[in-house]
Amino acid sequence: MTERKPEGMSFETWVDHQIRTADERGAFADLPGAGKPLPKDDGPSDSYTWALAWARRQEPDAAFLPPSLALGRERDDLPGRLAALTGEDRVRAAVREFNDRVAASWRTPLDGPPVVVRKHDEEALVAAWRAARPVPPPAPPTPEGPVRRRWWRGGRV
């Protein structure tokens, strides 16, 4: 693209020529999104909608919610996330951390709709976590009988 447009050639023809030669070289072969349709344009776009669409493309899993609504959604999702934890101390720490963030949100001014999020009952969640865990198999019984001494130990125990 460092070449200059030849004299007498229109700009549109020059651009078409550049595109055609780049396509012949294979410059467009491995581009991301190749073969996918262009995104639908839903009407007039301002800078806010463009920035929101860009952020959603960068992090598709991100939830764009005000903090109060995000905390409420997290409260609903917390029991499901606790099921993946492996120890009771980790479950208690996760519930305490959530409850601390809820208490901190109560002390800050509202940033979004006025949604009051309640704390979780730590003991109830730990009991539910324990009930959902599989029961550990019982320990195998120890055989009771005479203890055989090894011949190389002699009389010492």
> pLDDT tens digits for 123-151?
999 999 888 887 777 777 776 766 666 66
Q: What is the pTM of this model?
A: 0.51
Answer yes or no: are the C-beta atoms of 108 and 68 closer than 8 Å: no
pLDDT at 157 over 60: no
User: What is the C-alpha to C-alpha distance for residues 125 and 102, in angstroms, rounded to an integer?
Assistant: 16
Residue with the two structure tokens 């865990």: 133
Other C-beta atoms lying within 10 Å of the C-beta of residue 129? 20
DSSP 43: S
pLDDT of residue 49: 82
| Tokens found for residue 102 | 């809820």
pLDDT of residue 61: 67
pLDDT of residue 36: 83
pLDDT of residue 33: 80
User: What is the C-alpha to C-alpha distance for residues 130 and 58, in angstroms, rounded to an integer?
Assistant: 38
Answer yes or no: are the C-beta atoms of 90 and 49 closer than 8 Å: no
pLDDT of residue 147: 65
User: What is the C-alpha to C-alpha distance for residues 104 and 107, in angstroms, rounded to an integer?
Assistant: 5
User: What is the C-alpha to C-alpha distance for residues 72 and 116, in angstroms, rounded to an integer?
Assistant: 8
pLDDT at 110 over 80: no
Local confidence band at 4 (pLDDT 50, 70, 90 cut-offs):
confident
Tell me: the pLDDT tens digits for 45-100? 788 888 877 887 787 666 677 777 888 888 999 998 998 888 889 999 999 999 99
pLDDT at 8 over 70: yes
Least confident of 26-30, 34-38, 59-63, 79-83: 59-63
**Dihedral through CA 92, CA 96, CA 97, CA 103, nearest 10?**
170
